[in-house]
Amino acid sequence: MSEATESLRPELSDRELEIIELVATGLTNSEIASQLMISKRTVDNHVSNVFAKTGAKNRIALINWAMDHGKICRDGFNCCALPSPPIQKSIEPRNG
């Protein structure tokens, strides 16, 4: 990956990644605050920062962004540490 491309990727903190994971499980900001034992206002700030960094306009767009960028898997949990399976392309002969 080029340096220019690398600089375009948002830098998310560990806490922001944790917030994304919890958003993906369907929790509200109040529920996230309760689970993390932080204030709802702090969660609101984290969510706003994540929206700004990713360009997401809503929670669904954020979840889609996170899956597309390998931040969460479909089950809602961080899969950054999991190795990506190799991409296999099958080439089929054209008919006619």
The tens digit of pLDDT for each residue in 81-94 reads: 444 445 455 555 55
Q: What does the domain layout of the chain look like in residue ranges?
A: 12-68
- The confidence score (pLDDT) of residue 91 equals 56
Type of residue found at 48: S
Distance of CA 49 to the CA centre of its chain: 13
For residues 22 and 25, what is the distance between their CA atoms, to the nearest angstrom?
5
More confident residue, 10 or 56: 56
Look up residue 26 and give its amino acid: G
Residue 72: predicted pLDDT? 86
Is the model's pLDDT at 23 over the cut of 80? yes
Alpha carbon 53 to chain centroid, angstroms? 11
Give the chain's length: 96
Dihedral sign (CA 75, 83, 1, 78):
positive
Q: Tell me the average pLDDT across 66-83.
A: 70
Task: Give the CATH number of domain 12-68.
Answer: 1.10.10.10
**Structure pTM?**
0.69
